[in-house]
Structure 1
Amino acid sequence: MAAHRRFRHSGLVLVRATTCPDGVTPPRTLDPADPSALPREGRAWLEQVWARTDVREAVELASPALASEVDRVLADHVPARRLRRTVMSLASYMLRWEGRATPFGLFAGVTTAGIGPAVAKIGTAHQPVVRADAEWIAGLVERLEQDEALPGQLTVMTDNAGIVRDGRFIVSRRAELGARSPGAMREASVGLTTPIKYALEQAATPIELDALVERVSRRFSGVGANQVQRLLHGLVGGGFLITSLRPPSTALDPLEYLVRMHRTLPTLATAGDEEAGNRKLGEVSAFQDQLAAISTQIAQHNTATDQSQTASLRAAVTTRMRALQPGTDHVLAADLRLNAHISLPSHVLEETERAADVLLRVSAQPFGTAAWMDYHSRFRARYGLGALVPVRELLADSGLGYPHGYLGAPRARPAWRMLTERDAVLLSLIQEAAMARAEEIALTDADLRPLEVGDQADAVVPRRVELGVALHAVSAEAIDRGDFELRVVAAPRAHTSMIGRFAHLLDESDRARLAGSYTDDDAIVALLSFPPRRPHNDNVVRVAPHSGTAVLPLSEHADATVSDQRVIRLADLAVTADADQMYLVQRSTRRRVIAHLPHALDTSVQTPPLARFLAEVADARSAVFGPLDLGAARTLPYVPRIRYRRTVLSGARWLLTSDHVTGVGDEWETGIRRWRDRWRVPARVVACQGELRLPLDLNKPLDRHLLRSRLERTEHIELREDTPPDALGWIGRPTELVIPMVAISPSRPLPVTAAPSLVRQPGDAELLRAHLVGNPARFDAVLTGHLPALVEQLGGSVRRWWIRRHRDLIRLEAEQYLVLLFRLTDSSQYGTVAARLAAFTTDLRGRGLVGQLMLTPATEHPGHYGDGPAMEAAENVFAADTAAAIAQIGLADSSGISGQAIAAASMAHLAAAFAPDPLSGYRALTNCLKQGAGRLDPGSRDHALRLGDAVGGFAAVRALPGGDAVASAWQARSSAAAAYCRVLRGQCDPVEPLKTLLHEHHVRALGLDPAHEAATGRLARAVALRNLATAQASDGPQ
């Protein structure tokens, strides 16, 4: 049976399509390896295609350098090598234009589709919308900021992403202008001298430069104003102070922002004679006029309807911009609004919902990435459930830092990957298909279950996702009757978007649908605004916030168009967690914050790690949504198409390495032909390298040459099957749909939160925490045969003590240890108790029971257990539960009854005590422990039911050899649990602490094993349900 639906579409469908006009074709019959063909056929094609105005305009906007090179090559006779390079470069652009729907300049654009009978009409009067290129703007701003006569009315602020470490203020450095990649992490730092520290503190919120000069001068009267100005100018130049000249990423038109900003700066901080000042004012006035004129021309271009007029306006404004900022190649960035009328029937969107459900269902990471699972585990161990930890404190090197794999993280991403049962199942399906020479694997609902990881009921569904698909059908009529196929082409991470950066091209109703897909009544939805690590990428991150959306700015000023009430400050953010998820919280309101990236910029390298962290932490433990993860099969030389119903989840793909095809000339051609024959590679494929995609026809010599040239520059290339020739009949061109979807299930509530407790280091604390590292199979012997004697020796030095067992469920190979916690009478006893522990460990080592002793910082968890009297009452329960667990281990040994059955009965008694009355406790247990499915061991069930009988004051336990000790321990624990429940009821809901107490009892008595614990929980539920039924029967009919 198919699983229940998890997503519903939002009604918005973004259409991405190529604009390739008729008659524009690459020279596919040209053989670039033929020296005689290149001057004749190659040059003729170059002349023919370059004579087309539409081609010239598209290439000039996308690559001015290539356009200039084509002009030079056609104007003169050039060496064959240069001609070949120019022909191949332009041919690559034409191949991309012909075969790719990804928006790029004038080559492809976007529109939206309505919901209704299938219609697809695409015209030619597309509307380009341009703005000043990111690097042109960045170069202009740098010039202005380097002017010593920086305007005094300019607003500055301290970089809020900066950190203080070892007496220095440290900020991240962006890549230089023109850089092709962001490169390694770079930092700039400045020593926190008293004047610099004061200046940075005063600029924590935006302040006019003149006002900051005045404050610093007044605070340090011995320093002249000129010196202060030079100091602040240096802080601006180093990136420690950010000026309001830098357009925030929410400013959709950065040039218009700059013009507006300049208009508010009428004076300059000029020094010297009046004549120099007037001359400077005149220069500034002329500069402002030029900026305004360029901005006006861009606005005229973006509203013009005549295509010839838009081309001439682009040419004019390009000339003007290059004159103002010489040496800049790209001066304009462009998006394209398609001239189209498209609608699709609802059953197409319903099919995308099913595809999204299946992708989530077979996710290889249904509980978050390994990095976030590890981070969540370390957060709980360090701070505790419900602890509200400020973001800055958490990310500091003295906190947890960033999750592993992040830029600048203290831990690198693990190089290894565990093989799972899912890998085995998928590899088996692929092998079966290969043996049958089948071109695809058609998954059924029965096939999906073995591909799931863990219990799907435990997976947290992301609140919002987007799915990109290609729609294949021979006609619009075929779509209406359900004769179509979808192919998944994109599944961006849930906190990113492929739609957001095109929101300004949508009409008002579609923008409202897009905004609605983010709405969450129980949280503040915030758009992350920040400068990317590489300046060129400013072009893809500029997104204006939806009406009413909050903005979270990092390393930039908040846009003046965004009200203060909608600005979320980094200093006001904290992170908390419950047992299943992590949350970002606004400290001042205690509301959940869901920060998202409104674009698809790569987060691992191109995005600052702080922005990535804030975007990911809000749903850190949600199931990872993305393309079908091939797991261990990702390195296979061939994987067939994988389909579910009408959706191709993963197209057929091949890995081609330079070892597969060797030699040059005819030898290489023979090699590629043999490789294609062996692996049944079709002619139409897409070559993929990172984010680059190039459609190829391997039957054509030009395309094979392009493939070979790319293979020479890399170790391998991935080839994916391309769209079937008849699949685009419904629209006539490569097209993709991007559909945002929202989760159907309600969002999770925030846990009860509290400030994290103070961490006291070993030697200076009333709570001593020790780890006994060793074989977990020996822990029972330590607990029952040796630990009680140690506690007796400690006498009056310890008020109470408790234990737990530790096992890392993320890194299963990590050492296991027994945790001992001692609440001392006062901190002065620490040394005495530590010395006795050392002697105790030496004795255990001599007996071959443990390996080593570790003393570690101990933290309380008031966010989860309560504060003050509640924390003390909780520790009394921990101590009583420890005594019960140790007694239960002895009872299991002496009676032959399984420890699991005894623990299940114990858990039911614990729940009964931790409630206003026993029946309420049993009901709470049945609500917080899963029902599960499958057969329970009859013997264990019978023992658990008998020992868990609520009648007779634990009579069944007392009847067993050694049972009195257990009964006494249970009685003492019941008193402690009842007292804790009474105290806690005034602070928070006892349900979450109950779940933890039950879990901790299992850990103390039996160890940490999720599957075993689930079975024990089912036994405990059986006990609780029996006791409820008995109580109901004794009360008679109501």
Structure 2
Amino acid sequence: MLRMPLLPHTAVGAVARSGTGIDPRDRADAERYLAALTADERIREALAISSPSLDRALRGLLDGAPMKPAAVRKLVLGVTRYVLRAAARPTPFGLLAGIAPVSFADGCRIRVGDAHRAAVRPDSGWLLGLVRPWESEPALLRKLRVVAHDLGFRRGSRWVLPVSPAPDESDASASRTEEVSVRLTGPVRLVLERARRPLPAGELAALLAEAYPTAGSAVVERLIADLVRQGFLLTELRPPLTRTDPLRHVHDVLVSVAEWEKADTLARVAKLLDGLAAEPVGAGAARWHTAADWLRALHRHDRPLQVDLRMDTEVTLPAAVLREAERAAAALWRTAPKDDPVPHLTEYHTAFVERYGIGRAVALLDVLDPHTGLGTPAGYDRPGERGTQGGATGADPARDRVLAELALTALADGQREIVLDEATLDRLSRTVPQPAPNAAELCVQLTAESREAVAQDEFGLVVSQTTGSTAPGALLGRFAYLLDDGELIARLAREGAASAARPGAEPVHLDFQPLTGGAANVARVPSYWAGRLAIGCFPDTAPGACLEAVGGTSPGISAGAPVRNARDIALAADDERLYAVDVATGRELVPQSATVLNFVLAPAAVRLLRELPAMGRPLWAAWSWGALGSTAPHLPRVRYGRTVLAAAHWKLSDPALTDARTGDEEWGRALDAWRARWKVPRQVSVGVLDRRVVLDLEAPLHRALLRRELAGGADPVAYETPEECGPGENWLRDTRGDAYRGELVLPVFPARPLAPEPASSDTVRPAASLDTVRPAASLDAVRPTASADAVRPAESADTVRPAEFGDARSVLASTTGTLPATGSADAPTPPLPGATSPSPVAGPTPLPATGAPVLLRSGQEDGRRHRAWFYGKLHTVPARQDEVLVEHLPRLLAALPDGGGRWFFIRYAAPEPHLRLRFHGDPGLLWSRLAPVILDWADDLYEQRLAGRLVVDRYEPETVRYGGPGSLDAAERFFHHDSLTVLEQLGPLASGAVTAPPPVLAAAHYVDLVRQVHGEQWPEWFLRIPRDEQHQPYAHTHRSEVLGLLADDTALAPAARADRARALGAFPAASQRTVLASLLHMHHNRLAGIQRTAERRSLALARAVAEAERGDVRRQR
């Protein structure tokens, strides 16, 4: 797809010249300047659509309305900025910029005409405002189908909706932080229970009237209308986001319920909008004013029209452009930092695993409940309320050092750009192999002297730093209804989703109502998936809401497709990510929506579901300067081949420029000095993110615009323009010879070789064309790539890899990657060899035989079981933990009154180091007699400065991780005896009676436990673990010590081990092998702590012992 502005980029210079010598506060100057600037009717039309308030002020000025000098100046600068946007910014918006298809073939063919076509729809905020009062009219409401809002839940005596109804306008702040609630009376309860599935409101009223015969029909209908008005009930009248003609949806529903007058009104609106679209762009702004006024008479709204622009442009480019974009995308992937794309979800994943464990699916609404679950991730509702919003993004000091060297060398040598070669790419590349990146959409601006130059392979590319997407179809989807080949877009979106999904996962279209009505304008896209996940919106498609597919064979959403809501969704975790599952089947769901809507404008549940697919795999991203990007006042251009990966930029943070008290003349001198010092070119693109405008820093009005930008407080940045970066922007010319700025949107996919090949980067390639359907096989038809980061064949289910991050993570990592940074001894552990996991979703812990995560709602599996456990978190630093366990815990155990039972401990590191102590007993005795003893013991440790506070918490066991409810009792008894074994082991360690280091002791206990489960086949279990080369020297040095301990095991706490062996044997046979990996991990936690190096050494040692054992057996044979 090509994105291009309405006006040629040469208009920037023309605007600068036309504003020379005028005083923006002088009315006469302003009138002459603005009349000339907006003489083109296309500009007047664009203003009328995009900024009605600015358009009204302009008309008032030109018609002689009184206006203060400050208002005149504001108007002059505002109109100037809009015209500059229409000349230089290709992001589509109203009539200011539009789109066109682009194809790739031999040669270069360009045609830019004037017959641009406007696609006109009612603004979604206007339509919502029109529909909302209709929904509450009794005569209409009783004929409409309604359904209970699926995000509602009970809190005490009230029914709560964690999001308020969307306002008409774009202020979403109140909606993000507000909730609405209603007293859960009998009638309200009846309504909500019966409306779990859609039914006519009249039928619901009849049920109420039957249940409460004295209430009267007026009271009943008022109750239902109030519930609709407050959002507790949703009606079918509101158009789903998948309906690209929302006006038609409302009209069809009205027709289906015989509301002829309202349907006729909407039919007249549709005819009016069709008439606007039929006329050429530039036919006159008066028609837009008339149409907008007519719509405002129906419902007051500042911008009642939503317009997209299909440019009268045909572009065919040579395939060499695609090849260069491939190389650029691959280079960006190779040099990308090790940032976490969703750090707030990484933190949330840690909290989820700590609370619920691995393999357990928890109902979405239970997780999001702030009282009984986790609440929403940091920053969703009230930034900073829970955790640190955004969290750490993962520092990459080695990469930062290379970048600093490159930037400072260029500046010292007076060079404007850094040219990357293969050696430099290798220095910037990741040192740890990563899976292939996600598919994405790459935005590049093509630079060339002429169309002929492009055809002759004389061109450059400039990668956009602020546009692009992490999913093919996200930028294209909004304009699918304007492009010629919606089926290709559908295929790209489905291929992108499939490339990121785990085997067996089902992509589903995520439908919802944004927090603001206007946000639906950019979120309204077709569905490319058969399944629909409807959150906070009407959940089915009949009769008037038939959702459209795109293209002849795209599945879209049909009336027979599965439609799920929030209550059908649960969350589960593996070692590196959270994911959504279907409550009924346990199948993983991958929520998708081909839109670049900022999901801050969506309900928290929707935002969470939409962000989940970004976890557990790296995301393709534009160039990052790392730590330099936020601090350096200037950074040079970065070029690779013919592509500028990053344009040069300058931070506008000089105090002389940002001081609002500085006079205009002094400020102008400061600007000139700043430009001279940093060699800033005359034309720069200034703004924040994608909201930029090209300014001529020698034009007085443009300088005034720059100062206004600086006064906005948003820290704008100045970037060099594409013309400055390359050979020019003269290839996209119209018949008059005027040149336009064009931005290409190219879907890129990671190459997927059949086997890994040695080298350094993934090849990433764009789809060939957006108006020519290629065979599906061509999505992977690229030249072979040698890539250390390429996608590798999946390892076997019983393969174990060492973890790489975090002292508290298990080193028994799964095939899906490393374990989460929980800092937790309770962190999940994967299956070791011999454990099988039938789950269709890769995860670190074997799941039950159903092959799906087990759904257990909060507290459901335990009932009141937690009351039989005292759970205390004793805060003590790691250096004192062994002392507490060896010297002081036995004193507590001896002092416990009769009635106590099993107990166990765990070391933990997050959020602060502590010991988790859990005591089981009769609830009546546990809290009346045992708890005071524990509290006295903790107080004594505090007095001795051996421990800090003791925090009492609710015990929620990781039921699924340890084999399910039927194995939980056996697991807890094993924990008890393993804790006793460790205590018996720590004493001799502390006294020096046993000199073997903890990894050696742990390895001996691993062998002991695995031997109990697997008998003579125990070596095979260890030998299926990949050899840890880093720790082989340690393993071979200490292997004889482990063998000695196993031969004469008096140093291995034989009495306690015997009891532990009986506890292990008490596990159900089906669970014994699948939980073994977790049991070994927790044994290491208790014996040696949570240091990853020690755990990796212990595992390497156990494997070395298995090698020795297997070698002896073979020699004996």
- TM category (shorter chain) comes to 0.7 to 0.9
Secondary structure of 2:478's aligned partner: helix
Deviations 1:756-796 (A, max 9, x none): 36487999623332222112101112223333454355486
Matched residues in 1 for 2:405 and 2:340: separation? Answer: 24
> 494-503 or 895-904, which moves further after superposition?
494-503
Conserved? CA contact 1:64–1:329, under 8 Å: yes
Aligned match of 1:864: 961
Q: Please, which of 550, 560, 563 is the counterpart of residue 559 of structure 2?
A: 563
With 338-347 and 444-453 compared, the bigger mean Cα shift is at: 444-453
Q: Which residue of structure 2 lines up, in the alignment, with residue 996 of structure 1?
A: 1078
- Assess, with a 3 A threshold, how the Cα gap between structure 1 residues 758 and 782 changes in structure 2: closer, same or farther: farther
Q: Tell me, yes or no, if the aligned pair for 2:320 and 2:457 is still in contact at 8 Å.
A: no
Q: For residues 50-69 of structure 1, what are the alpha-carbon distances to aligned partners after superposition, in whole Å with 9 as ceiling and x for unaligned?
A: 33233333333323333343
CA distance in 1, matches of 2:460, 2:283: 40
Decide whether the 8 Å contact of 1:824 with 1:830 is kept in 2: no
Aligned to 1:787: 889
The equivalences for 1:258-277 within 5 A come to 258-266=250-258
- In 2, Cα distance between equivalents of 1:643 and 1:890: 63
CA RMSD of aligned residues (A): 3.6
Structure 1 residue 539: Cα displacement: 1.1
- SS in structure 2 opposite 1:485? strand
Residues 770 and 853 of structure 1 are in contact (CA less than 8 Å); yes or no, is this contact kept in structure 2? yes
Paired residue type of 1:237: R
Alpha-carbon distance in structure 2 between the residues aligned to 1:423 and 1:402: 33
Shift of 1:395: 0.6
Q: Which amino acid aligns with 1:584?
A: A
Structural mapping, 1:886-965, within 5 Å: 886-890=983-987, 892=989, 893-914=992-1013, 916-919=1014-1017, 921-927=1018-1024, 931-934=1027-1030, 936=1032, 938=1033, 940-949=1034-1043, 954-955=1046-1047, 958=1049, 963-965=1050-1052
Instruction: Give aligned pairs, total.
Output: 978
- Whole-Å separation in 1 of the counterparts to 2:24 and 2:974: 89
- Secondary structure at the counterpart of residue 855 of structure 2: coil
Whole-angstrom distance in 1 between the partners of 2:1112 and 2:415: 60
Match of 2:618 in 1: 623
Instruction: Identify the residue that residue 407 of structure 1 maps to in structure 2.
Output: 381
Distance change >3 Å, CA 344–CA 104, structure 1 → 2: same
Q: Distance in 2 between matches of 1:346 and 1:493?
A: 23
Percent identity reads 27
Q: Which residue of 2 aligns with 1:279?
A: none
What's 2:700 paired with?
A: 701
1:173 counterpart residue number: 164
Work out the CA distance in 1 between the residues paired with 2:653 and 2:24: 30
Distance in structure 2 (CA, Å) of the matches to 1:797 and 1:435: 77
Q: Secondary structure at the match of 2:1001?
A: helix
Say whether the 8 Å CA contact 2:105–2:319 is kept in structure 1. Answer: yes
Contact 1:139 1:177 in 2 (8 A): yes
Change (3 A) 1:830 1:287: closer
1:740 has 2:747 as partner: yes
1:559-958 mapped onto 2 (5 Å cutoff): 559-560=541-542, 561=546, 562-604=558-600, 606-623=601-618, 625-633=620-628, 634-643=630-639, 647-657=643-653, 659-661=655-657, 662=659, 663-689=662-688, 691-714=690-713, 716-725=715-724, 726-731=727-732, 732-742=739-749, 744=752, 745=791, 749-750=840-841, 751=843, 752=847, 753-756=853-856, 758=860, 765-794=867-896, 797-808=899-910, 814-824=911-921, 828-890=925-987, 892=989, 893-914=992-1013, 916-919=1014-1017, 921-927=1018-1024, 931-934=1027-1030, 936=1032, 938=1033, 940-949=1034-1043, 954-955=1046-1047, 958=1049
Q: Residue in 2 aligned with 1:331?
A: 304
Which amino acid counterpart does residue 534 of structure 2 have in structure 1? L
Task: Check if 1:186 corresponds to 2:178.
Answer: yes
SS of structure 2 residue aligned to 1:820 = strand
CA distance in 2 between counterparts of 1:802 and 1:31 reads 79
One-letter code aligned to 1:718: V
The alpha carbon displacement at 1:982 in A equals: 2.7
Q: How does 1:190-209 map to 2 (within 5 A)?
A: 190-209=182-201
> What is the one-letter code of the residue matched to 2:474?
S
Map of 2:134 onto structure 1: 144
Match for residue 1095 of structure 2? 1013
In the alignment, does 2:268 pair up with 1:293?
yes
Return the letter of the residue paired with 1:728.
E
The match for 2:353 is 380
1:307 to partner: Cα distance: 5.7
Q: Is the Cα–Cα contact under 8 Å of residues 136 and 226 in structure 2 kept in the other structure?
A: no
In 2, Cα distance between the equivalents of 1:390 and 1:181? 27
- Distance, in Å, in 2 between the alignment partners of 1:472 and 1:166 is 63
Match of 1:497 in 2: 474
Alignment of 1:94-133 (within 5 A): 94-117=83-106, 119-124=108-113, 125-133=115-123
2:223 aligned partner: 231
* Worse-superposed segment, 886-895 or 54-63: 886-895
1:392 deviates by: 0.8
Q: What residue identity is the alignment partner of 1:1009?
A: Q
Bigger Cα displacement from structure 2, 504-513 vs 337-346: 337-346
Q: What does the per-residue CA deviation read over 1:693-731, in whole Å, with 9 as the maximum and x for residues that have no partner?
A: 112222322221210122223263222222125343443
Q: Hey, what does 2:494 align to over in structure 1?
A: 516
CA distance in 2, matches of 1:578, 1:395: 19
Q: For 1:871 and 1:128, locate their aligned partners in 2 and report how far apart those are by CA, in whole Å.
A: 65
Task: State the partner residue of 1:55.
Answer: 43
**TM-score, normalization by structure 1:** 0.86
How does the TM-score come out when normalised to structure 2? 0.80
Do the aligned residues in 2 keep the contact of 1:582 with 1:619 (CA within 8 Å)?
no
Asked if 2 retains the 8 angstrom alpha-carbon contact of 1:905 and 1:944, the reply is no
Looking at structure 2, the residues matched to 352 and 239 of structure 1 have their Cα atoms a distance apart, in angstroms, of 47
- The verdict on how the C-alpha distance between 1:879 and 1:55 changes in structure 2, with shifts beyond 3 A counting, is same
**Residue of structure 2 in register with 1:273 after alignment:** none
For 2:960, what is the secondary structure of its paired residue? helix
Instruction: Please give the alpha-carbon distance, in whole angstroms, between the structure 1 residues aligned to 2:427 and 2:984.
Output: 41
Letter in 2 for 1:553: I
Instruction: Indicate the residue corresponding to 2:54 in structure 1.
Output: 66
Distance in 2 between residues matched to 1:974 and 1:36, nearest whole Å? 88
Q: How does 1:314-393 map to 2 (within 5 A)?
A: 317-318=291-292, 320-325=294-299, 327-344=300-317, 348-349=321-322, 352=325, 355-356=328-329, 359=332, 366=339, 369-393=342-366
In the alignment, does 2:416 pair up with 1:439?
yes
Q: Give the 3 Å change call, closer, same or farther, for CA 84–683 of structure 1 in structure 2.
A: same
Alignment deviations for residues 722-741 of structure 1 (CA, whole Å, 9 cap, x no partner): 21253434434322233334
CA distance in 2, matches of 1:798, 1:619: 47
- Structure 2 segments unaligned to the other structure (5+ residues): 547-557, 733-738, 753-790, 795-815, 817-839, 848-852
Aligned-pair CA distance for 1:806:
0.3
Per-residue deviation at 1:615? 1.1
Q: Any conservation in 2 of the 1:764–1:827 contact (CA below 8 Å)?
A: no
Q: Distance in 2 between matches of 1:835 and 1:77?
A: 82
Deviation at 1:216, TM superposition (A): 0.6
State the match for 1:552 in structure 2.
534
CA distance in 2, matches of 1:51, 1:223: 65
Asked whether the 8 Å contact 2:472–2:493 carries over to 1, the reply is no
CA distance in 1, matches of 2:1093, 2:472: 31
Conservation of the 8 A alpha-carbon contact between 2:167 and 2:517: yes
Describe the shift of the 1:759–1:631 C-alpha distance in structure 2 as closer, same or farther (beyond 3 A). farther
**Matches of 2:533 and 2:864, distance apart in 1:** 42
- 241-250 or 721-730: which moved more? 721-730
Structure 1 residue 449: Cα displacement: 7.0
| Structure 1 unaligned residues grouped into runs of 5+ | 1-13, 268-284, 809-813
Deviates more, 1:67-76 or 1:470-479: 470-479
Contact 1:688 1:718 in 2 (8 A): yes
Closer/same/farther in 2, CA of residues 954 and 427 from structure 1, 3 Å limit:
same
Q: What is the letter of the counterpart of residue 780 of structure 1?
A: D
Q: Shift of the alpha carbon at 1:825?
A: 6.3
